[in-house]
Amino acid sequence: MQYADVPLNKILSRSDFRKFDFLNPDSYLPMSMLYSFLQTVRTDQGVNHIGNMFYNDFKLNELGDFGEFITERPDLLTVISDGIKYESHIQTNTRMNIEISGPITKFSQVHLDPFSKGRQNAEDIAFAMAYKAFKMVLGKNWRPISLHVPGFSIDPITHIVSTKDTNIVFGASYYHWFFETAQLSHKNLSMTEAKELSYHGLSNLSGHIQLLLNSLTEGYIPTRRDFSGFLNLSESTIVRTLNTEGTTYLRLLQKHLFLKTLDLMHDEKLQISEISLKLGYANTPNFIRAFKKWTNTTPERYRNQIL
């Protein structure tokens, strides 16, 4: 907002915001106060949609520790999954989700409290941030397969979305969009350094495990016991530490296998059985069962739809 010449000092002088310490990354601001503040800015600036107005004036890596953390995720799936994992660091009343259905994936943002003008402001800002995160990874020319927006006006998104060449569906209950599942494995080229879960003082054991998983040879699925030997840590320590980071070894392993699968599925020379072997599955049926859990479809159907 400062970049857009909003007189924040004047607005803040009339707000209870001045009672809060924004230099402390663990500070919490009640949503009702945020709503009131955003509504004041909206009135002061004479605009209807704050997210739309300020979209071109903010960068994700300048939105505090969390924005910097998300900017340094290695691929789109990690950007989304870590965004969901720490969603309360943005707005405590927001719930994000992804639903994978074969070659198509749905990303959604839902605000839990009743609709109000204040909530609409926060909703528009949350949408702008999430949409910018997708374009950060997939490029400025990326378009979703379809974008579903609340209401029946294009006004809230004119600066955010290329409205001429995006399939926009109005009248949705909440912001959500559909995109190609294969894009989940797209590398984040804007990433400059790996901040493997150092966020807010958390241990980076999960980051070490992810790096080791990416370093292993093909045809081998390591167990938690294997990592106990790799890292010289007891299995119970691994379980306990990963639990403090909000994850499990199985979750990290499944994510690794899923991303690797998405890349291999685009190689037309590889049979499904060969992909299964490269991933380290004991037999093809086990791989097919795992793939159906990830995508709600079979590898054959998925491949037929993307190739």
What are the structural domain ranges in the chain?
A: 8-185, 199-306
With CA atoms as reference, report the closest residue to 153 among 136, 135, 171. 171
What is d(CA 249, CA 73) in angstroms, rounded to the nearest whole number?
19
Residue 96 in contact with residue 87, Cβ under 8 Å? yes
pLDDT of residue 201: 35
3-state secondary structure the chain: CCCCCCCHHHHHHCCHHHHCCCCCCCCCCCHHHHHHHHHHHHHHHCCCCHHHHHHHHCCHHHCHHHHHHHHCCCEHHHHHHHHHHCHHHCCCCEEEEEEEECCEEEEEEEECCCCCHHHHHHHHHHHHHHHHHHHHHHCCCCCCCEEEEECCCCHHHCCCCCCCCCCEEEEECCCEEEEEHHHHHCECCCCCCCCCCCHHHCCCHHHHHHHHHHHCCCCCCCCHHHHHHHHCCCHHHHHHHHHHCCCCHHHHHHHHHHHHHHHHCCCCCCCHHHHHHHHCCCCHHHHHHHHHHHHCCCHHHHHHHHC
Distance separating the N- and C-terminal Cα atoms of the chain: 44
Residue with token string 């953390």: 69
Does domain 199-306 match CATH 3.30.1490.20? no
pLDDT of residue 76: 96
What is d(CA 239, CA 237) in angstroms, rounded to the nearest whole number?
5
pLDDT of residue 37: 84
pLDDT of residue 193: 61
List all residues 6 or more positions away from 163 whose beta carbon is below 8 Å from its beta carbon: 154, 157
pLDDT in tens, the chain (307 residues): 766 677 777 777 777 666 666 666 666 667 787 888 888 888 888 887 888 887 888 888 888 778 888 898 999 999 999 899 888 777 778 899 999 999 999 999 998 888 888 888 889 999 999 999 999 999 999 999 999 999 899 888 999 998 888 999 999 999 999 999 999 999 998 876 655 444 333 347 888 888 788 888 889 899 999 888 887 789 999 999 999 988 999 999 999 999 999 999 999 999 999 999 999 999 999 999 999 999 999 999 999 988 7
HSE-up of 210 (CA within 13 Å, CB side)? 21
Instruction: Report phi then psi at 71, rounded to 5.
Output: -60, -30
- The length of the chain in residues reads 307
Dihedral sign, Cα of residue 172, residue 54, residue 141, residue 98: negative
With CA atoms as reference, report the closest residue to 121 among 82, 156, 169. 156
Tokens of 72: 């340094």
Residue 84 in contact with residue 107, Cβ under 8 Å? no
Dihedral sign, Cα of residue 87, residue 91, residue 94, residue 100: negative
Specify the pTM: 0.79
Tokens of 149: 């927006």
